[in-house]
């Protein structure tokens, strides 16, 4: 709640400063903001309904068996694979991760999902390779190793 108030206050201050300096730019900024929201809206709605259905059909016992703290390496493998191959924007992934966490998923497994989602991109590897060649593979490999370390650390800290 406090966090939301802070967000609105910050946005309002920035908006007013921007408006007092340049109306046209401010209008363009709002348009851009709306456009980037509208861009993710389809996927956003899809993931939110999917999450709703998942949580309806999978009870907490099933979720925690699959990716709970007790699921250990199997859960990490599962979340790591999903995070590495899918391209889900963070705006969509975080709410989903939050819901799963509340429904019994483990901190390590959720961190593995989020971190591989951001650092490892199997789908975008060809694009990355065009510029970086061999280093692209290495960067993704290191990203995977780092994701695992971060997941274990988060699992340990939030145990």
Partner 1 sequence: MNTCLELLKRYRLFAVLLLVNFGILAFMPEMGLRSFQLMGKNVVEMLVFIPPIFVMLGLLDVWVERETLMRFMGPGSGFRGGVLAFVVGSMAAGPLYMAFPIAAMLIRKGASFLNVFMFIGAWATTKVPMLLFEASSLGLRYTLVRLVLNVCGIIAIGWVLRGVLTSEEAAAIQAKAEAMQGEGRKQPAR
Which of the residues 8 through 67 are near partner 1 (CB under 8 A)? 8, 10-12, 14-15, 18, 25-26, 28-34, 36-37, 42-46, 48-53, 55-57
In the complex, what is the shortest distance from the CB of residue 76 to partner 1, in angstroms, rounded to a whole number? Answer: 16
**Angle (nearest 5°) at CA 133 between 131 and 134:** 150
DSSP 82-121: HHHH----HHHHHHHHHHHHHTT--HHHHHHHHHHHHH--
Total of residues contacting partner 1 (CB under 8 A): 73
Choose one: 58-66, 68-76, 83-91; the region binding partner 1 (CB under 8 A).
83-91
Among 77, 101, 108, 112, binds partner 1 (CB under 8 A): 101
Question: ∠ at Cα 44 (126, 26), nearest 5°?
Answer: 90
Q: How far is the CB of 140 from partner 1 (least distance, A)?
A: 10
């Amino acid at each position: 709640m406090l966090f939301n108030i802070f967000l609105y206050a910050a946005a309002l201050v920035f908006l007013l400063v921007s408006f007092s300096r340049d109306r046209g730019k401010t209008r363009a900024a709002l348009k851009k903001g709306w456009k980037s929201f509208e861009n993710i809206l389809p996927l956003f709605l899809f993931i939110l309904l999917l999450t709703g259905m998942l949580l309806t059909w999978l009870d907490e016992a099933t979720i925690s068996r699959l990716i709970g703290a007790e699921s250990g390496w199997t859960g990490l493998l599962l979340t790591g694979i999903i995070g590495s191959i899918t391209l889900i924007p963070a705006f969509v992934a975080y709410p989903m991760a939050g819901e799963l966490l509340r429904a019994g998923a483990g901190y390590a497994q959720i961190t593995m999902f989020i971190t591989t989602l951001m650092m490892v991109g199997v789908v975008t590897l060809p694009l990355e390779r065009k510029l970086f060649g061999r280093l692209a593979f290495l960067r993704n490999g290191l990203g995977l190793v780092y994701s695992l370390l971060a997941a274990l650390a988060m699992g340990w800290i939030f145990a």
